[in-house]
Every structure is written in structure tokens, then in C-alpha cells.
Chain A
């Protein structure tokens, strides 16, 4: 191996880790002090004693001196449902459409492929107002369907599966045909099990994508019962000043980060794979 001056590397990396971790530490710290201490600008750099009270209050009521939010428990469930529906929905519809495009010959095959492909160029942010109008006309405001279905179509996931399907050897399909399996059987018995790692990797990425959605939920949900946690937090900070319930905000923030960060760290292998593969 080449000679490396490794203390350089350690220094840079430790610095990097510190810059990444610092805001999180401050948030954790903030969630353990009372609102008055923080608001008065007197929060020390070590944890306080209010953690249980803050997290309890955030989780069960979500209401502080000024904050009038939904309880974190409700928002977490909403976020979780939204993320899971988006994840499973995207995986399901994109794997079957990729299967159709790769393993069948039919008129308009390329037309459909390009139609899906072009959606890469139409991110929701770009067509936000007319999309909102469509969803409103369909009566999807304040519903889980409205929150998730418009986000479920995904060119990226379809392209990823297509790419993978193209690597499945032709002979495997032929062996299946001779063994007597039709297209659905082949999909269920062979393609799906072979796609397991791709599905797992994609699920990690999509869960984070779903959990972190912002603009669309902001438009499509209006009632507190439908609020997702990311939206909920920013509503709490909308008038950030000394009297804001910083303790509740920080407890909520920590809770909001927990699921996606845990997914990334616990499923690191799938996450890295999913991220790199889905961009190819």
C-alpha cells in the first residue's frame, strides 16, 4: 500500500464529523432545557433536566405556551403512513411497469417507456399549482390518497428496475418457459426474489424521500389531524423569537429526525447501494 500521512485524514474527518454533529448536539441539548432558559439566551452547552417533560409534552399534546400544534404522536403516524405508502406504492407500480416494458413485446411499448421517462423532467415543484388544482378537483385535499398518490409515479424507480431486469439472462426466462411458467409466474417466482436487494435498497431511499416531503404536504393538507411532522415543526417556528417554545420545537425536531436517520444508519449498506444505483 502507498504511504499515507494519516493524521491529516483523521483531522479532516473528525472536523467533518463535528460540523455534521454540532447542530444535532445543539438540538438534543435544546430539548433538555426549559423554554425560558433557551429563550433568554442562557442555554448552557451541557444537557438540562427537562428532557422527560419536553418530550412528553411534545409527544402527547404538542401545545406549549404559544405553540398550538398537533401532538407529535399524531404527526409521526401521519409521516410514517405517508412515507410507507409512497415507498410501497412506488416500488409496486414501478416494478410492474418496468417488467412490462422489458419482458413483453407490444405495440406502443417504446411510447409508454418514453412517457414514463419524460416525467423525470417534470418534478412536482415545477408543476405545483396545476397539480394542486387537479388534486383539489378530485377531492383529494386532506386525505392520505392526496398526500401520496401524486408522488407515487416514479421514473427513477422504473428505470432502476428496467436496468436490473436487462441484466437477467435470457436463458433464465427460457428455462422458466420450458419449466412451464407463464409471465406472472415468472415474475412472482423468479424476478421478484432476484430483485430483493434492489427493492430493499430502493425502499430505504424512498422512505427517506417520503418522510421528508415538504412542498406537496404543505399544499395538500390543511387540517391539524393530517399534519406531517416536518410541516408541523416549521409551523411552530414561523415566528421565531425569544418567546417561542424552543424546548418543544427541539424535542419535536429530534423525534422527526429519528426515523429517517435510524433507517440510514441501520440499513447503511442498502442505503448506499440504493442511492448510487438509482442515479445511474
Chain B
């Protein structure tokens, strides 16, 4: 059990700059667990945390092949919002948003959740019709959202280019005030620390190489640190979901693509909110340490390479400069890619499978970070009760057989 963080503990350790406890204990795997979670990213760690906290299952291991939060959790652009069009999607993301709002207190770890608002820009009349429809749907679903015109945008963000002479002039936007950003690494660390305080083993550098299935039931996993038995296994391995599924003889309706992002050198505060545009396809915010965090789109080809094409970077940079000409002299510091598993309907799979005791939480595509607490929460209940959480029901893998897809791809647009 780690000591609780408080102003007193920080002052005491900070004054002498010593007695800093290790934040998360290093665990070795036991031979058997009630539940194994494959994947120590935000979603996997959140699943373990809520299994222990809300479902009373503490004999849980999280197996991570690298280090926790080293995959997409540490590679995204940290945007959090819940203004999705479809009822199924907006309920799930709003559930997540409510958890975000109390998360730092709940975890006793500052995840630096900052509700600085998100603007989703519209550049054409059709964009504006879609935005009005989405905002109305949001309000009916209890999600805060308003439509703003280009004058209000200019008032709020003086550096944005609302000129009518732009190639794609900004006509307006939807604005969600409760949306914002969080510290992505902090989210992984916070969930890991809080979960391990409740008895969960967080095991790093432990790659799952096979899943043992006997008579249609999962028995355990083979790992680089030996065999581990488990009654239930939850897979939360994002871009590698298809690889893990293959170990159990399953196929998934997902394909893995590279998704890129880049950050600039640190600057004084210049952008106090988050701006996204589906039409020109770029999104940007400024982190607390001052760098611009810019996200691009996916490459169309399949890849597990964690790097994408220069064409996408160029396209995204062009979009950002169209919106913010003032950024034209900003130097970029780093650029990277993550592997995202995209479902045909751009909605996740949170579901049991044909193998008894084996559950999948995957297909979050380009928009998983915002859902971290909500995804973990509903997936934990799904595993614990062997029955989908009510918010997860529409996200059953069988929707690809029944045809009951959730058409968020057309609704939320590409930036996710």
C-alpha cells in the first residue's frame, strides 16, 4: 500500500527532496489470477482499477509487454470531449466525461484534467447543418453543447483566421465547454497506482505470446515471464488487438493504421482552448508546458510500424496554418505515430467473444483517450458479471453480424 498523496506529503518530501516513495510497486506474476488484463495502457489499467474498486475483484494482473502507458496512451493528443451524435456513443463518452470530472480526487493522483473547452469548426453550409444537428442531439442527451458563429470564435480565439478569403472559411463551430485535455501519462500512472493500492499486480515487460483455450473456455496465457492461469481474460491491446485475437483463434472487424501527431517547441500561452476541424483535418491545443500539440489523420494502409507518411504530416500542417497563420514560424520538436485499430463504424467493441471467459475491448480507432475511465468502467463490469454493462450493450461484436452498426463515422467526422 502506497502512502496517500496530500499537500503535506508533497511538502514533506519536496522540502528535502528525498523520501520520495516509488509511485507504483514492481510486481512479479503469480501462477493464477481471477482476471488477467492484457495491455497496460490507460484502458487496461482503468479496467483493473474499476474491477478492484467497484466489482470487488482484486486478484487481478495487468500484463504489459513494454512499460505502462508506452503505447497509444502516451502518443495521443489528449483531447477529451463527449459531443458525439449517436445516443449509444454519446452515452458512453458522457459516462466517461463524468468520471473524468472527479478522477484526480478519486485516484488521489493529479491527472491535470483541464476543462478548457473544444471547438469543432464548420467550414461549409453542410458542416453547419451537421453541427446544429449534433448540438441539438447533444442537448437532448444531456451533453453540454452550443453552436457559435465565426464572430464569437474570433472573439474567443483572436489568433484564428476567420477571413472570408481563406480557402475553407470558418463559418462557425460547436463548442463544448466541459471538454478539454488531460495529462495522458498521468492518467496511466494514476490508474496504475490506484489499482495497485487495491491489490492489482501491474506487471511490465511481460508480453503475452499465446492464449490457452480448452473446450471453448479460456484457461490462461503464456507469457515471456511464464504461464499464468486465469478464469477470465480481458484484452485491451489497441493496435495489436488482431494479433492477440489470433492467439485465441478469433478474427476481429478491425484494421490497424498509423495515426500521427506532433508537438512544437514550448511557447508562452497563446491558445487557451482546443480547436478541431474535420473539414481541413487537423486539431490543436497548447499543453500546460507550452508546446502546441497537433494531431493528424490516419494513413489509409495497414501498419504496425508506429510511423506514418510525410504526406499526412504535410496535409495536417497545411490545415493548421490555414486556421492559424501565426503558427507558420513555429518549429516542431517531435513527431511520432501510434497504431490505432479502426472498426468499420468508428465505434469500439466492448464485448464477450465466442471463447468463454475471453473479453475484448478494442476498435477505439482514433478516439480512445477521452474514453479511458468510461471504457475501463464498463469493461470491468462486463468482465465481472459476465454480462455487458448496459452502456456497452450496443457495442457488442455481434453488431457486425446483425447489421446494427453505430454510424459515428459519418456523424462525428474524421477527427475523432
Q: Do A and B come together as binding partners?
A: no
Which residues of A approach B to under 8 Å, CB–CB?
A: none
Which residues of B approach A to under 8 Å, CB–CB?
A: none
